[in-house]
Every structure is written in structure tokens, then in C-alpha cells.
Structure 1
Amino acid sequence: MRIAMGQLASGTDTAANLHAIDGFAARAAAGGAALVAFPEYATYEKKKIDATFPTVAQPLDGKVGTELARIAAHHGIALVAGMVEASPDPARAYNTLVAFGQDGSQLAAYRKVHLFDAQGFRESDFVAPAPATEPVTFDVDGVRFGLMTCYDLRFPEQAQALSDAGSQVLLVCSSWVPGELKTKQWRTLLAARAIENSLYVAGVCQSPPVSVGHSLLAGPMGEVVAELGTVPDVLAADLSPAAVAEVRKHFPTHRQRRIR
């Protein structure tokens, strides 16, 4: 299977962000990708989360979600993107990843579990945590994908739960805040989650200055299969479910785990 990572430089102009998503989805589909993934807050983003996020929040079937579904169906490609979803609390939105199939049908929606209250930021001031923590997965062409968002990457038990739910690929859609050693940590943690669970991990990130860029696909042995730099771009890479099965045969940690 071929998947693509669409590294954006999203801002507050939702129409412009959707136009960029449309263009990258077209390129990914033309290159033979079955799925294209975009970052956290793909449709609305700022250097720091503030009170505007709840004001732009929409239901999943609102104008933003409807346009993402249209893009997926128009190009015949499965699509995952981060959006600001309305929650029952008017002062706080959900930070949501929504996945659409190649026909535009909604496959899954994942609300971020671990909010970024770190490094001087307080995402939880304007974003509500997911009310449920069960793993969220969906299938495309017989491959199971698990959804995680940014800061979730620092919690290995979440990746493990997605692996236990049958995921062969983790999509970590992110806006990884820059700082000391942050790019190194991003690359290291993506590889670590891949090695720990013997699966592929696709980390899809926003570009600087909001984020660090370096979207990459790590293989089930932790190897870097493909990686972008810091500019907005779309990159396709091939993955093999058979490779996941082969690595798990040689390192059967799923069966050997004694602490749960």
C-alpha cells in the first residue's frame, strides 16, 4: 500500500487551508496513494491556541467536514485531517482527527485524549479532552490504521492499545511545538513507538514556525522509510502489512508481554 503525508503550514484562513489540502490530496492520488494524512489543526491553526478556537469549531458534518469529505471523494483517496470540532462546552472545542474513505464516507473520528499542557502551553484552557479513551481505528484496503494526535505520542500505552486493537499503521497527526531538542524527540519517539509495537508510524506535522516539520514514516524496525524537511509538501511512501507480520514473528513481544 502507498500512503502520503501532507505537511501543511496552516493558518487562520480555513478556506486557504482547505485549498492546500485539496491540492496535496490531488498530488497524493495522482501518485498512487490510497490514503493521505494531514496534521493536527489542519483546517485552523495558530502559534498558540486561544479563545478563537471554540468560536470556529464546527460539528463533523458542518462546512469544514463536508468539504474534507468532498475532497476525499473527488480524488478517490482516503483522507485524515485535524479539525476544530464543536463540543457541548461553548468555551472549549474538541481537537479532532476525522477520517474519510475513498468515497467520502466518514470512517472514524478521534478526539485528542492527552492535551498539551506543557512547555508553557495550556491547550486545555480552550480545548476539551476526549470523553472516551478507547482506541480509534479504521480500515482502508485491508490495512488497519490507528489514530493519535501530537502529545499522545509521549504516552506509549496509547500506541500499545491501538496495536492491540489490530493497527498495522499509526497515524500521528501533529503540530509539534518547537523548542530545545524537540525535533530530535519527535523523530526518536516516532521510531520508538514503531519498534515497541512492530508496526509503521506515520508522523504528519505542521511546518515551521508553528511546528517543526519533518513529517516521516517509520518502519516496524524503527527505520525511516521516508521523511520531509521543513517546507510544506506532500510525500508518498510504500508500506507492507507483510513486513509488520514478519517483524512480529521475529520479535513476538505481543505474546510475551507480562505487564498490562
Structure 2
Amino acid sequence: MRIALAQFTAGTDPAANLELVLEQIGRAATAGARLVVFPEAMSCSFARPRIEAAEPLDGPWANAVRQAAVNAGVTVIVGLFTPGRNGKVRNTLLVVGPDLDAHYDKLHLFDAYGYLESEQIEPGNAVVTVAVDGVVCGLSTCYDVRFPELYKQLAAAGAQLIVVPASWAPGERKVEQWRSLAVARALDATCFIVAVDQAEPPSDPDPLPGARRPTGVGHSLVVDPLGEILLELDAEPRLAVIDLDLDAVRTARAALPVLANSRFTTALGRPDRV
């Protein structure tokens, strides 16, 4: 399977972000990609209150991406905010293509390092896999990558590849954590991990007092089922394409049957499959 990683930085204007997403879908399709993975929060960065940019899954932003994916003949995974309850939103991955229309709401909210994502966002309640060209793909978002039980659950549901769209917050050793967690989850699930972060945002020469910036450190990466990093980008905006041999999943699980050998089960319930 040929996969495109679209490492870009979203701003606070959904229309401008949509133009960027549509352009990269076209470029990825021209390069022969079958799956195009964008970061989380591509409809609007975390620098703007989420409720101001939330749109339903059948809203104009999502519909434009949906139509572009169908026209290009590719499957697209992209992050946006959708309306929730009680003035909150959901941090959603939209998954659309010629024969696919699904979504995943982020399960684990980033209430860490002094930040409370739960103040504006409500968590999802379903583990989701989708089939892209016959390949079962698991869905996860950013902070989810710190929770191995989710990845084991996705693997148990048949996932051969798990995507991790992110808007990873910078900080001391955060790039090293991002890389290490992606490798660890690949080994936990013995499957490919495709982790796509927002590019590092440009510096603001005259920031407003108290204003938040978009978050991202770049370093999107692809890890194989035995933990080898096949691709890692730098911090700059870039579209990268890589071919994955999915037979490597079967080979890895035969050599290292951690899923079959595990004496533990998770309590997340039966995953949704689209």
C-alpha cells in the first residue's frame, strides 16, 4: 500500500486550511497514494477556541474533503472538530474515500503537562477500525499513543496499520517521547504505525499577550511491526510518500506472537468496523 503523510501546520482559518488539505490530496493522488493521512486539528488549530470552528460531519468543510477524496480516488484521514454536548466539541478524525465514510472521536483527552483538553472537548466512546483496499486500519489520535491497551485492542480487531494524527505539543524531550511511543506501540501491536504530526509552526514576531500558538513538532514517522523506523521527517511542512509491504505484519506476528501469548484482555469492548 502506498501511503502519503501530509505534515503541515493548520492556522485558525478553516477556509485556508481546507485549501491546503485539498491541494495535498491532489498531490498525493498524483503520486499514486491510496491513503492520505493528515494531522489532527487540520480544520482549525488549537490556537482558536474549538467551539468556534466545530462543524458537523455533513458540514461544508467535511463535505469538501469528502468530495475531493472521491474525485481523487483515494482514502483521506484528517482531523477536525465536530459539535459535542454542553458547549463542548469532539476531536474527530474524518475518514472518507470512494467506498468509505467513517469517523473516530478521540478517546483519551490531553489533561497533562498543566493543560486540560477536557475543558473544551468531550471524549469519544468507541474503538474504530476501517478497511482501506482490504487493509484493516486502526484509528487513534495524538495523546492516545500513550495508551498501549488501545493499540492492542485495535490489533486484536485485525488492524495491520494504525494511524496517529497529532498536533503534538512541544517541550523538553517531547520529540524523543513521540518517537519512542510510536516505536513502542508498533511493537505492542506488531503492526505498522503511521504517525503524522503538524509541522512546527512558524515563529510569531509579534505575538498577542496570552495568545496560544498552533502546536506541532513535525517528525512524522512510519514504524514497521518490529519497531524499525522506516521514515521520519524533520520539523518542516512536507508531503511524503512511502510504500508498505503489509505481509510484514504476518511475518512479525509469526516471529513475535505477543498478541497470541498475552494473558491479559482489555475492557474497551468490541471495536466498530467500517
Does the 8 Å contact 1:217/1:226 carry over to 2?
yes
Matched residues in 2 for 1:88 and 1:60: separation? Answer: 15
TM-score normalised per structure 2: 0.89
Aligned CA RMSD, in angstroms, stands at 1.2
| Correspondence for 1:111 | 105
Does the 8 Å contact 1:35/1:77 carry over to 2?
yes
The equivalent position to 1:75 in structure 2, one of 64, 69, 72, is 72
Can you list the C-alpha shifts for 1:208-249, whole angstroms capped at 9, x where unaligned?
132110111111111111121111111111112211000101
Tell me by how many angstroms 1:120 deviates: 1.8
| Correspondence for 1:189 | 181
Instruction: Give the fraction of aligned pairs with identical amino acids, expressed as a percent.
Output: 40
Tell me by how many angstroms 1:88 deviates: 2.8
| Correspondence for 1:124 | 118
| Correspondence for 2:17 | 17
Can you list the C-alpha shifts for 1:82-110, whole angstroms capped at 9, x where unaligned?
00101132x21000001001x2x553211
| Correspondence for 2:95 | 99
Matched residues in 2 for 1:11 and 1:111: separation? Answer: 21
Does the 8 Å contact 2:190/2:252 carry over to 1?
yes
Matched residues in 1 for 2:66 and 2:134: separation? Answer: 20
Does the 8 Å contact 1:153/1:172 carry over to 2?
yes
Matched residues in 1 for 2:253 and 2:101: separation? Answer: 27
SS at match of 1:211: coil
TM-score normalised per structure 1: 0.94
Does the 8 Å contact 2:108/2:144 carry over to 1?
yes
SS at match of 1:204: strand
| Correspondence for 1:172 | 164
Matched residues in 2 for 1:172 and 1:45: separation? Answer: 17
Unaligned runs of 5+ in 1: none
Tell me by how many angstroms 1:185 deviates: 0.4
Does the 8 Å contact 2:43/2:53 carry over to 1?
no
The runs of 4+ residues in structure 1 deviating greater than 3 Å are: none
The alignment status of 1:249 with 2:254, answered yes or no, reads: yes
Amino acid at match of 1:231: E
Unaligned runs of 5+ in 2: 202-214, 266-274
| Correspondence for 2:26 | 26
Summarize the alignment of residues 41-52 of structure 1 with structure 2, pairs less than 5 Å apart: 41-47=41-47, 52=49
| Correspondence for 1:208 | 200
Does the 8 Å contact 2:161/2:192 carry over to 1?
yes
